[in-house]
Structure 1
Amino acid sequence: MTGTLLLAPEWLGLSGLWQIDAKGKRKAVDAEDVGLSEELADRLEAWMDAFDAIYDEDEPAASDFGDAVERLAWEAEGAALTHAIARELGADWEIRHDLTGWKGKAAS
């Protein structure tokens, strides 16, 4: 399997992984769908649990972490996950991340 993956938390209950097709359309996928190890899948799930805990579906733009340190730690883990996913899947995959896209959902 090859392609483009985007790590982008946007909605509650999803893995935060999106496969991007040739036309740029996103399709939510799970870690198992793309062949990630159980260890990396567990790490991704824990990271998304932290997002789910602060995300307000009614007011996404108001969702935020308790303080800057907590937010920066979450963002750092997201960047680290992006690199770990890229290492695990190899050169046939393009791995990107957008850790702030959900903030703009309220403006849409």
Structure 2
Amino acid sequence: MEVRVMARPSKYTSGRRERLPRNWKRLRLVVLHRDNHTCAECGGVASHVDHIVPNDDHSLSNLRALCASCHNRKTGREGGQAKARNQRKNGRFDAGPHPAYLRADEG
């Protein structure tokens, strides 16, 4: 008997990979070729394909080539923004000053 273990997505990932269309590999190659393997941000050599507007729109007009460094920077920025939105939505966002910045008479 064969037992298969299904990988669960990490709670720290976007889950985008599971939502990619079946033809993603082909779309990725089309975009890289269209953009001449040139990063849209820095002009370096691109190996990643990025969704310009972060959603599930996989149309060619919403995809662009990025280098790994620019893609990681953009993804990190979007992840931080999404985390802050979720914290505010769930009432866990405290915009108050950090305790280290409080004066002795305020603490």
When normalised by structure 2's length, the TM-score is 0.27
State which structure, 1 or 2, has the greater radius of gyration over its C-alpha atoms.
2
Higher relative contact order (CA 8 A, sep 6+): 1
When normalised by structure 1's length, the TM-score is 0.27
Q: Which structure features the higher share of strand residues?
A: 1
Q: Which structure features the higher share of helix residues?
A: 1
